[in-house]
């Protein structure tokens, strides 16, 4: 298979798991190359995600590495299956790779938990709110790229819709609810949209009120995407240079603990809806 010039985050993750499986078994790259019928250099490329690996070769390597976790191996083979193109591929070359990687991560997640301190979760944003966010960046984006980002944002939201929507728990700080991106009317419509979405059976929306005080990772945006097996969970955090994707065991445990803490201090779903309604009513009445 031909080498890739810029592998996706999912392709790099598959390569990292192949390497983890090989090194855990004490299998050398040279031995793995012999098993798979490739030269030594291609093993390095496979493990960096630059070169693809077939499902059959994944299973061959797993067998010779004495990996007996069938569900894990099946999940890796599924990741390696050829022809896996998604809606995000239509934006390749037009939007930053990190944005495409987020869409792909969400599309393959079994369950998601996310925490937001300043922003409304992207999966729960209205088009007007998203436009207001995209228009306040430095340097300013050209109009055609704003339109592309909005279209991408709307398509991302497919994962929480349809016949088999992905379960999604959103922990949103009260500060994010009071931010008036786009002005009062846009903010009020956004709050109404949150209330509507919170009634979906697959969505749990919980608000962290100001009086809850401090919590770990305050100010950080975190998405915890569960994979088909725990070993394939991924954390995505925002940064000034774009999204970062974490999957080391210690990192996953840290962010699970962060989210558990935040859930522990958040309002119940019903109380969260009541607070959202109060904030929306204040916007309608013009109360600061």
The string of pLDDT tens digits covering residues 97-143 is: 999 999 999 999 999 999 999 999 999 999 999 999 999 999 999 99
* Mean pLDDT, the chain, whole residue set: 94
Q: Which residues contact 209 (CB under 8 A, 6 or more apart)?
A: 174, 267, 275
CATH annotation of 87-285: 3.30.870
CATH annotation of 9-80: 1.10.260.40
What is the Cα–Cα distance from 126 to 105, expressed in whole angstroms? 21
Q: Does 40 or 85 have the greater pLDDT score? A: 40
Residue 116 has phi, psi (to 5 degrees) of -135, 135
The domain locations on the chain are: 9-80, 87-285
Report the pLDDT value the prediction gives residue 240, as an integer from 0 to 100.
Answer: 79
pLDDT digit string, tens, across residues 32-61 = 999 999 999 999 999 999 999 999 999 999
Report the pLDDT value the prediction gives residue 121, as an integer from 0 to 100.
Answer: 97
The number of residues in the chain equals: 288
Structure tokens at 132: 């207001």
What is the Cα–Cα distance from 266 to 176, expressed in whole angstroms? 14
What is the Cα–Cα distance from 39 to 211, expressed in whole angstroms? 60
What is the Cα–Cα distance from 10 to 16, expressed in whole angstroms? 10
Report the pLDDT value the prediction gives residue 218, as an integer from 0 to 100.
Answer: 79
> DSSP assignment, residue 204?
E
Q: How many CB atoms lie within 10 A of CB 78?
A: 14
pLDDT of 67 over the 80 cut: yes
Q: If pLDDT is split at 50, 70 and 90, which confidence band does 216 have?
A: confident
Percent of the chain with pLDDT over 70: 96
Report the pLDDT value the prediction gives residue 5, as an integer from 0 to 100.
Answer: 66
By three-state DSSP, how is residue 170 classified? strand
Cβ atoms of 119 and 133 within 8 Å: the answer is: yes
Compute the average pLDDT of residues 218-245.
93
Using CA of residue 20, residue 11, residue 229, residue 242, what is the dihedral sign?
A: positive
């Amino acid at each position: 298979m031909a080498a890739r010039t810029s592998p996706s985050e999912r392709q790099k993750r598959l390569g990292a798991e192949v390497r983890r499986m090989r090194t855990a078994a004490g299998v050398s790259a040279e031995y793995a190359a012999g098993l798979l019928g490739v030269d030594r250099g291609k093993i390095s490329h496979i493990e960096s995600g630059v070169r693809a690996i077939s499902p059959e070769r994944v299973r061959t390597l797993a067998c010779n590495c004495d990996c007996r976790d069938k569900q894990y191996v099946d999940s890796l083979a599924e990741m390696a299956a050829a022809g896996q193109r998604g809606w995000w591929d239509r934006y390749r070359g037009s939007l930053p790779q990190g944005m495409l990687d987020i869409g792909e991560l969400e599309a393959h997640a079994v369950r998601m938990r996310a925490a937001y301190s300043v922003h409304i979760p992207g999966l729960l944003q209205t088009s007007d709110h998203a436009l207001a966010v995209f228009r306040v960046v430095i340097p300013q984006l050209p109009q055609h790229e704003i339109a592309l980002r909005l279209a991408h944002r709307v398509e991302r939201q497919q994962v929480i819709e349809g016949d088999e929507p992905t379960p999604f728990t959103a922990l949103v700080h009260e500060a994010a609810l009071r931010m008036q991106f786009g002005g009062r009317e846009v903010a009020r419509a956004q709050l109404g949209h949150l209330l509507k979405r919170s009634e979906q059976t697959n969505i749990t929306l919980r608000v962290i009120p100001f009086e809850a005080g401090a919590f770990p990772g305050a100010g950080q945006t975190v998405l915890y995407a569960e994979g088909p097996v725990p070993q394939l969970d991924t954390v995505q955090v925002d940064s000034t240079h774009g999204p970062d994707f974490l999957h080391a065991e210690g990192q996953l445990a840290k962010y699970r603990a962060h989210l558990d803490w935040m859930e522990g201090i958040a309002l119940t779903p019903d109380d969260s809806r009541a607070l959202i309604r109060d904030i929306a009513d204040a916007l309608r009445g013009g109360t600061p």
